[in-house]
Structure 1
C-alpha cells in the first residue's frame, strides 16, 4: 500500500474503518482480493514474491504495508516486505509481540511502514529505524514517509475521510471516490524524498497515474466485532482504463 487513512474507535459497531490505495509498477503481477487456501486470510497476493500488501485474518487481525520513499533503488538481496503482512495474518502473535520481534531485524528489509491491529491494539512500525509507534483511538493516516508526517496527500485523504464519516453512514462508492482523487500538491508543498521534482509531483496525488507505475488497487475495509467487509477495486494500467471490483464479507472469530 502507498497511502492509508483510518478511523479506529474501539467499542463502536465498526471498530476500524480504513481506506487505502496500493501503488505499484503495472508490470508486477498480482492476484486480486480473495480468500486464501485454508479460509483464514482474506487478501490480495503479490505473485512476484508471494506476500501481500494488505489483508485481514479470521481471528480479527489486520495488517498493511507501505514502502518508505528514499530516492534510492531498492536492495535485491533482501526478503520481500510483503511477507511481513502475510506472516502476521497467518500467525497468532499479538501485534505488540510481533513488532517487538521484528523491530531489531527491520533493517533486513527495504524501508517500510507496517500497520497492525490484533483486535485490541493498533500499532505501527517504522522499519527504517525499527521504531514502534503506538496509535491512539481516533483518526490516522500514513503514506511513504514516517507515521504522523503531514504530506499534502495524507492530509487531503484524512480530511476527506473525516468529512465523509461526519456526514453520517457512508457507502463504499463514496469512499472509493476519495481514493480516486488525482489532485497534485503545489510545488512548494512537495516533500523532499530524494526523487526528481517531476517524479515527486506525479506521486503527490492520492490516486497516481504514470506510464509504468500507478494506483493498482483501492480498498475500503470495515471491521466490526464479528465480521469484516472488504471492498477492493482493481485498476488496470492507464492504457486500458478498466477496473474490476470485489466486495466480500468475512465472518470473524
Structure 2
C-alpha cells in the first residue's frame, strides 16, 4: 500500500475497516485479490515477483498491511517487505507477539510501516525511524511517511472514513462497476451489504493540495505534486489497486478490490466474503 485509512474499534458492526490504494509500477506482475492457492486461508492481492502481499486477511479475521517509507537516501535492499504481510497472515501468533519478534530484525528491511491486527489488538511497527506502538480505538492513517503523518491526502482519506463510520454501515448493495469480474463469495444471508460508494470516491480522489501543504521527502517539488493525490495516474507508475476491507467482531467480513492499468484505466474488480 501507499495510502490507507483504518478505523479500529470505532463502529458498532465493524471491528476494523480499512480503505487504501496500492501505487506501483504497472509492469510489476501482480495477482488479483483472491484466496492464495498455496494458503487458502489468506485472501488478498499478491506480488508475483516476490510472492508477498501489500494488504490482506487471514484466518479468524487477521489483517496485515504494509507501506514503504519514501526516502531517496535510504537503502532499498533487504528481504521483501511483502513477506511481512504474508508471514503474519499465514501464521497463528497474536499480532503483538508477532510484531515484537519482527522488531528485533526490522532493520534488515528497506524502510516500511506495518500494521497487524487480530481479534484483540492493532499493532504498528516502523523501521525508518524505529517505532513500535499498540494503537487504540479510532481512525488512523498511513502513507509513505510516519504513522498518522498529516499529509494532505492522508487527512482527506481519514476524514472520509471517519464520516463513513459515523453512519450505520448498512445500505443497498453497490452496483458492479463496468467490466467487473465475478463476485468470489458463497451465498450470503447476513445483514445488508454496506454502501461503500463514499470510500471508493475517497480512494479515487485526484485533488492536488497547495505546494505549501506538501511534505518534503527529498524527491523534488514536481514529483511531490504528482504523488500528492490519493489516486495517481501515470503511464509507467500509478495506482494499481484500491482496496476496502471490513471485519466484524467475530472475524467475518468482506474484502473488495478495484484494479487499474496505465493512466488509471479500470482493469477489473474482485470481492470476497469470508
TM-score by length of 1: 0.93
Q: Which residue of 2 aligns with 1:79?
A: 79
Residues of 2 paired with 1:243 and 1:36: CA distance? 20
Q: CA deviation at 1:167?
A: 4.1
Query: Which of 221, 227, 230 pairs up with 1:197?
Result: 221
Q: Which residue of 2 aligns with 1:120?
A: 120
1:233 aligns with 2:258: yes
- The more displaced of 26-35 and 157-166 is 157-166
Residues of 2 paired with 1:204 and 1:11: CA distance? 29
Pair 10,108 (structure 1): closer, same or farther in 2 beyond 3 Å: same
Q: Which residue of 1 aligns with 2:176?
A: none
Deviation sequence 1:118-175 (CA, Å, 0-9, x none): 1110011112233112211011111111112111111111111122333443512331
TM-score by length of 2: 0.86
SS in 1 for 2:43: strand
Q: Which residue of 1 aligns with 2:153?
A: 153
1:212 aligns with 2:227: no
Contact 1:80–1:109 (CA<8 Å) still a contact in 2? yes
Residues of 2 paired with 1:205 and 1:11: CA distance? 27
Q: Which residue of 1 aligns with 2:196?
A: 172
Q: CA deviation at 1:71?
A: 2.1
- Segments ≥4 residues shifted beyond 3 Å: none
Q: CA deviation at 1:73?
A: 6.9
1:41 aligns with 2:65: no
Q: CA deviation at 1:226?
A: 4.1
Residues of 2 paired with 1:123 and 1:226: CA distance? 17
What's the RMSD between the two structures over aligned residues?
1.6
SS in 2 for 1:175: helix
Deviation sequence 1:44-83 (CA, Å, 0-9, x none): 110111100001002221000000000237534x111000
Contact 1:21–1:219 (CA<8 Å) still a contact in 2? yes
Residues of 2 paired with 1:73 and 1:131: CA distance? 17
Structure 2, unpaired ranges of 5+: 170-193
Contact 1:30–1:46 (CA<8 Å) still a contact in 2? yes
SS in 2 for 1:59: helix
Residues of 2 paired with 1:140 and 1:221: CA distance? 14
Q: Which residue of 2 aligns with 1:61?
A: 62
Residues of 2 paired with 1:99 and 1:226: CA distance? 20
Q: Which residue of 1 aligns with 2:101?
A: 101
1:186 aligns with 2:187: no
User: When the two structures are aligned, how many residues end up with a matched partner?
Assistant: 248
Residues of 2 paired with 1:3 and 1:137: CA distance? 19
